[in-house]
């Protein structure tokens, strides 16, 4: 199937957001896919191109501080950025008579579900993939301390604290470039660092969100170390938290990791997505 990339920019308060629409002939709908922190829209287009080949347009973007988007990054800013491009997507949907479907993988599920609760942000259906529904610095600290304790018990030479922290981040986010200068595509100099830290402690965007009319498919990995940070061990607590926000959620457990890197995992996920959509 032939498809066209339309790269665009949206300006708000002198800041510019970079976004893309991947178009197919006679689309069945539009997939709205917010990016990962430290990722970009190219990554999301690559991950979900199978759905484009099945006849769906796709919209994604770059948060502030990523790629060609200006301004500096913060967690609160991801919510604002998501709303801006979602509004653009809904205008396209109304103009062309196309339904809008949301896909939230990992952190992007938070801004996606936040705006799904507003009349202007409703989706036909939503898919969650290893979705995080809240940030808990206490849970992260507890998880790291457990990891460090295991290192001390299993290794003769225990790494220093900062080296152990580096190893922990590599364990949680393998394959993502990490350094003092940045995380993936996000450079430290383009981040409101103290604002981001404050947001991690202060924000709880989904506290009062409840999507009582939106069908949701939640796919989550039983071997996902990121989800286990926030919901321990694990299935009942995680599903209960998702149902608190999405009462109509259906669940499918996957035997893979956070990035769906096990053989056959991505094929399994996309078959579920096609059936659901």
Q: Please list the pLDDT of the chain residue by residue as tens digits (277 residues).
A: 667 788 888 887 778 999 999 999 999 999 999 999 888 999 999 989 999 999 999 999 999 999 899 999 999 999 999 999 999 999 999 999 999 999 999 899 999 999 998 777 789 999 999 998 887 666 666 666 666 676 677 766 667 766 766 666 666 565 567 677 778 788 889 999 888 878 878 888 998 999 999 999 999 987 777 777 765 545 578 889 899 999 999 999 887 766 676 667 788 888 888 999 9
Predicted TM-score (pTM) of the model is 0.88
Q: Which of 79, 35, 18 shows the shortest CA–CA distance to 205?
A: 79
Q: What domain range is 201 assigned to?
A: 4-135+192-276
CB count, 10 Å around CB of 96?
Answer: 10
Asked whether residue 171 is domain-assigned, the answer is: no
Query: Is 165 inside any structural domain?
Result: no
Task: Locate all alpha helices (DSSP H) within the chain, ordered by sequence.
Answer: 41-47, 49-53, 75-96, 109-116, 137-154, 161-172, 193-202, 225-231, 235-245, 265-276
> How many residues are listed for the chain in this entry?
277
In a domain? residue 225? yes
Within a domain: residue 37?
A: yes
> Is there a domain that residue 38 lies in?
yes
What is the number of structural domains in the chain? 1
CB–CB of 211/123 below 8 Å? Answer: no
82 occurs within a structural domain: yes
CATH of the domain at 72: 3.40.50.1820
Inter-residue contact 36 to 43 (CB < 8 Å): yes
Answer yes or no: is 151 within a domain.
Answer: no
Does residue 39 fall inside a structural domain?
yes
Backbone angles phi, psi at 233, to 5 degrees: -125, 90
């Amino acid at each position: 199937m032939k498809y066209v990339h339309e790269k665009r920019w949206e300006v708000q308060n002198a800041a510019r957001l970079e976004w893309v629409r991947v178009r197919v002939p006679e689309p069945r709908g539009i997939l709205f896919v917010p990016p990962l922190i430290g990722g970009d829209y190219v990554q999301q287009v690559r991950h979900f191109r199978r759905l484009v080949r099945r006849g769906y347009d796709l919209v994604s973007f770059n948060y502030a501080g990523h790629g060609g988007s200006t301004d500096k990054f913060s967690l609160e800013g991801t919510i604002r950025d998501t709303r801006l491009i979602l509004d653009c997507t809904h205008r396209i949907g109304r103009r062309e008579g196309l339904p809008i479907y949301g896909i939230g993988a990992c952190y992007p599920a938070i801004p996606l579900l936040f705006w799904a609760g507003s009349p202007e942000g409703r989706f036909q259906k939503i898919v969650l993939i290893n979705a995080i529904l809240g940030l808990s610095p206490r849970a992260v600290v507890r998880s790291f301390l457990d990891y460090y304790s295991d290192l001390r018990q299993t290794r003769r030479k225990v790494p220093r604290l900062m080296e152990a922290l580096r190893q922990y981040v590599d364990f949680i986010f393998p394959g993502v470039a990490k350094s003092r200068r940045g995380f993936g595509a996000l450079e430290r100099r383009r981040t409101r660092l103290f604002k981001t830290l404050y947001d991690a402690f202060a924000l709880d965007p989904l506290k009062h969100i409840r999507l009582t009319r939106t069908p949701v498919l939640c796919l989550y990995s039983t071997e996902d170390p990121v989800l286990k940070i926030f919901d321990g061990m694990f299935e009942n607590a995680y599903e209960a938290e998702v149902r608190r926000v999405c009462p109509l959620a259906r669940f499918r457990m996957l035997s893979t990791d956070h990035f769906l890197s096990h053989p056959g995992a991505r094929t399994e996920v996309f078959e579920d997505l096609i059936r659901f959509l």
